[in-house]
Amino acid sequence: MRGFPPSMTLLRARSASEAVRLYAENPLAIPVAGGTDFMVSWNMGLLNEKTVLDIAGVREWAAVEEAGAVLRVGALATHAQLRDHPAVRRDFPLLAQAAATVGAVQIQNRGTLGGNIANASPAGDTFPALAVYDARVLAVSRAGKRSIPFVDVFAGVKKTILARGELISAVELPFLISKPDRQVFRKVGTRASQAISKTVAAGLLWLARDRTVAKARFALGSMAPTVRRLKAAEGFLAGRRLTPAVVDDAVALLAENVSPIDDIRSTAAYRLQVSRNILRSFLSPQ
C-alpha cells in the first residue's frame, strides 16, 4: 500500500471469485486494472477517501482464446495483446488496428479492454471496431452472469448500464461467417499518435454476386455521447449498387445517427465533414 494516501483504502483480488466477493461487499469501490485513467484522477487528488479494488491480479480475465463461435477476450487483456495477438490480427483486424492507436506504447502495455469500456469515454478508439464486429460484453456479479450487446452497454458520457457490484469479465467477438469485401479503420486526431480522436470510424462491407450491397456495418466514435452504428445508412445501402448517387444518399444519412459537439479538440462541423469523407471514401466505387 506504499504510495497511497492514508485516507485511501486498497482492496486486492487474486481471483475472479474474490473480485466478485469484494465488489459485492464494497459496491462503491473503484475497480482498477491497468490504471491509465485512474492515475490521472489520483494525481489530481480526486481519489482521497475512496476505496479502490485492484483486479489486475485476476489472471483468468486476461486470456484471449477461441471459444466455439466466438473469440473471447478477457477484460484484462491489454491493448498490446490485442494489437499483436494472431487471432485478433487474422479475424478482427480492425480491432488490432484500433488497439495500435491507443495512446503510446506504454499505455498500450498497461491499458485494458475492460477498463476502456468501463471508462465509457465517447472517444474510445476500439469502440467502433467492437461495434461493427457485433461484440458482446460479459458481466459478472454475485447475482450471476449476463451478456450485453456492446453498443447497449453505454448509458452516456462516462456512464454504463452495469449494475452495482457488476464487473466486466470478458468481451466476445463472433467470428465472421464470410470475409468482408471491404473494411476500414480510421482515427483522426491532432497528431498521428498519442491523440484523443476527433472522430474514429470502423466499417465492414459485403457485396453480393451482382455487386449490390449484401450487408454494411459502419460505426463512429467521438461523434455522440456513446459509440454509434450508422443504422440509417446501413439499412439504406442493403440491396443497392454503390453508384455515386447511392453513396451520396448514404453519406447524407450519417447525420441521423450522430450528434457531434464543439469542444476543445474540434468543432461539430469538422467532425461531421471528416466522418462523411471517411464514409464516402469507404463506399465509393472501386
Mean pLDDT, rounded, of the chain = 93
Q: What percent of the chain has pLDDT above 90? A: 81
Which residues neighbour 209 within 8 Å (Cβ) at sequence distance 6 or greater? none
Residue range 12-21: mean pLDDT, rounded: 96
What confidence tier does 189 reach under pLDDT thresholds 50, 70, 90? confident
Q: Quick check: 3 pLDDT over 60? A: no
Q: Give the cell for residue 284.
A: 465509393
Lowest mean pLDDT among 139-143, 175-179, 257-261: 257-261
Question: What's the confidence (pLDDT) of residue 196?
Answer: 83
Whether residue 51 is predicted with pLDDT greater than 50 in this model: the reply is yes
221: which strand partners? Answer: 200
Tallying the residues shown for the chain, one arrives at 286
| pLDDT (tens digit per residue) in 203-230 | 999 999 999 999 999 999 999 999 999 9
Domains and CATH numbers, the chain: 9-54 (3.30.43), 59-174 (3.30.465.10), 182-283 (3.30.390.50)
Q: In which band, very low, low, confident or very high, does the pLDDT at 1 lie, cut at 50, 70 and 90?
A: very low
| Helix, strand, coil percentages in the chain from 3-state DSSP, rounded to 5 | 35, 25, 40
Residue predicted with more confidence, 34 or 117: 117
Distance set, CA 197 to CA 184, 207, 246, 271 (Å)? 16, 30, 28, 10
Return the number of other C-beta atoms located less than 10 Å from residue 242's C-beta. Answer: 21
DSSP, collapsed to helix, strand or coil, labels residue 72 as: strand
Cell of 27: 459496491
How far, rounded to the nearest angstrom, does the alpha carbon of residue 191 sit from its chain's CA centroid?
20
The answer to whether the CB of 95 falls within 8 A of the CB of 126 is: yes
| Whether pLDDT at 117 is above 90 | yes
Helix orientation angle between 268-283 and 244-252, rounded to the nearest 10 degrees: 150
Q: Which three cell numbers stand for residue 162?
A: 452495469
**Sorting pLDDT into bands at 50, 70 and 90, what band is 47?**
confident
Q: What pLDDT digit, counting tens, does each position of 121-154 carry?
A: 998 999 999 999 999 999 999 999 999 999 999 9
